[in-house]
Chains A and B, each alone.
Chain A
Amino acid sequence: MPVQLFVTCLVNSLYPDVGKATVALLERAGHEVEFPVDQTCCGQPSFNGGFAAEAKQQARQTLDVLDATEGPIVVPSGSCAAMIIHHNPELLHDDPDYLAKAERVAARTHELTQFLAADGDPGTPVAGAATTTYHASCHALRWLGVLEEPKRLLDDAGVDRIELAGEDECCGFGGLFSIKAPEVSGAMMNTKIDQIEASGAEVVVGVDVSCLLHIAGGLRRRGSTIRVRHVAEMLAGDAE
C-alpha cells in the first residue's frame, strides 16, 4: 500500500528540502510515496487564531483530497499532524458528512517520526559528526506524544546527540501570537536560544518547521553559527 505525503504549506513554500528529505526517507524504508497534488494548507493557522469558518474551508479541502487516497498519511510536522488527527474532528463535530471523513483521515494520519519509528526503520548512519540537540515542539509533544521517536531515530542513525535543557519549553512562535504579542514571543525565543547556545550543540533539530523557522530567525539575527534542521533532513544525511 502506498504512503500519502501531506507536506504542509510551509514546507511546500519555504522548506521544500524537508519534503524531499521526507520522500527519501520513506522510499529508503521501502514505501511507495504518493503526493496528492491538490493539497494546500491544513487550516491550522486559522483554527488556532479562532477563525473557524476559514479553518473549516481548509479542513474540508484537505479531507476531500486525503480521503480520496489510500494508505497511511505521513506529515513531516507535529502541529499539522495534530490538526488533522485531533482538531479536525473537533472543528467539524456539527457537520456529519465531514466528521466521518475527518475521523477516517485522522485514523490514517501519522507524524513522520512516529511513523518511521513504528516502522522499525533501522536508520542509516549519517555522515558528518556535528553535535546535535533536539527541541521538542509543543504540539508534537503534547498532542501527539512525540519525544522519544525522533531522538531514537537520530541515535540509531549514529548522530552525536546531546540533550537540551528545557527541551519542552515553547520557542514562542505560536503563529498569530508572535504577531499579536511580539515582545513576549521574542523573550520566549531568546530564552530558547540561550538554552540552545548553552547546550554546546552545532545543530538544533525539530519536527516542525514553524518552530524551526522562528528559532532560525533568532539565531541568524544573533549571528550564531548554530544550524537549524528538520529531523528528516538530518536522517536523510543532509545536515549542511
Chain B
Amino acid sequence: MTTFRNRVQDAFATGVPIAIDRGARGHYDKRVKAAAVFPQMEDMRDRARVIRAEVIASLDEVLAEFADAVAARGGKVFFAADAAEANDYIVNLARAEGVSRAVKVKSMVTEEIELNAALEAAGIEAVETDLGEFIVQLAGEKPSHIIAPVLHKDRYAVGELLAEQLGVPYTDDPTELNDIARKHLRSRFLSAEMGISGVNMAVAEDGAVALVTNEGNGRLCTTAPQIHVAVMGMERLVRTRDDLAVILEVLARSATGQGLSVYTNIVTGPRRSGEPDGPDQFHVVIVDNGRSATLGSRVAEILYCIRCGACLNACPVYRHVGGHPYATTYPGPIGKVLTPSLYGLEEWHELPATSSLCGACQEVCPVRIDIPKLLVELRQQSTGHMPRSIRVGLAGFAWVSTRPRLYRTLTRFVAFFGRWWSKDGWLRHVPFLLRGWRIDRDVPAPAPETFNDWWRKRGA
C-alpha cells in the first residue's frame, strides 16, 4: 500500500478540492451556532458520554437484551464475526428470497464491509439512494466524509457527472440536480425487493433501530421493499428510548447543526398484522469485524463514537487533505483511532502519527472522546515503526536529560558551535531530519548562550 504521505502528496499535486475545506468549515460553523442557541448542549454531551460509556462497559448484556427484543418483535438477528460473514448472510438471504435489486440508505458500516461489491458479485444490483452516496457510487469513488460522502465535489462536478453518467442535460442548479437523481431513483425504489440501511442507534429495551437522514430515502428504503436488512456495528446501542433521546439531541447538532435531522425513523420489527405497510421481514446484522478486540484494548473509548462527523469538520489535517488520503472507510480523527484498532497497527500505524494533537476533535466530540490521548496510546504501541533516527535521537536526548551536568555541557557546546551553522539566528542549512521543512520553512539556530548559563552568570 502507498503511504499516507504519498497519498497526501498526490492529493496536493492534483489539488485538494476547495470544496473540502469549505464544506468542513461550513458544518463546523453550523455546529457552533447550533450549540450557542442550545444552552443544555454541554450538559447533554456529559449525559451522552455517560450513556455510551455504560453501554460499552456492559456491551454483552446490552446486546443480548437488544437481540431478545428484536426477536420478540418478529425480527431476526444475525451476529457476524467479520465482514465476510455479514456479506454472506445478506447475499444468501437475497438469493433465497429471489432479490435482484436492493436499495440502500447511506451506511458507513456497509462501506466498511464492502457490501455493495459482495452484492454485485452475486448478481444483485445495489442502488445507493442517498443523494451524496448515489453520486459517489456513480463516480465509482469512495465517500470522503462519514456524513457528507460527496464533500469533495462541488455542484459543478456533480452536474458534469450526472450529465455524463445519466445522459441528462448539464445543470449545476442544486434543485434540478436533486430532481434528476430523484427521478432516476424513484423507479428503483418501487422495484427493489430488499431495503438495506445502517443503524444510527439501536435501542436495547424494545429492539428498535433509529435512522436519521435528511432525505426521505431512508423511510422509503425501510418500508417499500418486502425485506428490510439493518446493518449495525456491534457497539451502536443505547439501553432505553430516553437514552436515545439524549443521543439524538447531540447527534444532529454536532453533525450538521440541526436541532434534529429532517427524518428520524424508528423502526421496530416487521409489519405486524393490521398494519397497512412495512416490510414482511426485518433482519438486523450485527457486525463485530474487530470491535470485540477494540473493546478489550486500551482504546475501547473510541467505541463511544456516535459517528456524527464533527471531529472531521474540526480537524485541520482533514480540512487540508480531505478524506481520501486516509485510504480507509473512516477518515479524520475518528478514523485514525478506529481504523488501526479494527484492522491492526501493523498495517495502519501511520494514521495515529498524522496528527498534531491539537485537540480540536476532542473539543467538539459530542461524547467527549479523548481522541488525542487515544492517539498517543496507539503511538506508544507502534514506536517500532518510527524512523530509527528519531528513536535513537529521542532515547539519547532522554538519557542526557537525566544527567543535568552533561545536559548543561552539551547545550553549551551546541550554543557555542551554533554560530558556525547559523546566520542572523537561523540555521544556514535545514538539518537532514527536518528535510521535509525545506520547501517552506527555515529553522531557528541555537542562541549563543543558554538560559542556564545566563542565569548562573547573573547570580555570580
Contact = CB atoms under 8 A, between A and B. Distances in A.
Is B one of A's binding partners?
Answer: yes
Which residue, of A11, A49, A214, has the highest number of chain B Cβ atoms within 10 A? A49
A115 interface: no
Interface in A141-178: 141-143, 168-170, 172-174, 176-178
Question: Do most interface residues of chain B lie in helix, strand or loop, or is the interface mixed?
Answer: helix
Contacts of B317: 181, 184, 188
B357 A50 contact: no
Given A49-B390, A188-B316, A174 B398 contact: no
A83 B450 CA distance: 22
Interface string A6-20: 010101111111011
B383 A50 contact: yes
Which residue, of B353, B354, B357, B441, has the highest number of chain A Cβ atoms within 10 A? B441
A177 B355 contact: yes
A58 B442 contact: no
A65 B402 CA distance: 10
A73 interface: no
Which residue, of B12, B352, B394, has the highest number of chain A Cβ atoms within 10 A? B394
Contact of B320 (A11, A177, A184): A184
A66 interface: no
B357 to A, nearest CB: 6
A190 interface: yes
A217 B434 CA distance: 12
Nearest to B411: A13
B321 interface: yes
Contact of A170 (B316, B395, B411): B316
Interface string B344-374: 0000000011111111101100000000010
A190 B440 contact: yes
A232 interface: no
Interface of A: 7, 9, 11-17, 19-20, 35, 37-41, 43, 45-55, 57-58, 60-61, 65, 90, 138-139, 141-143, 168-170, 172-174, 176-191, 213-214, 216-218, 220-221
29 contacts: A15-B444, A16-B449, A16-B450, A37-B452, A37-B456, A41-B401, A43-B401, A49-B386, A50-B352, A50-B381, A51-B380, A51-B398, A54-B394, A57-B401, A58-B402, A65-B404, A142-B358, A142-B360, A143-B359, A169-B316, A169-B360, A178-B356, A178-B434, A178-B437, A183-B12, A185-B436, A187-B321, A213-B444, A216-B444
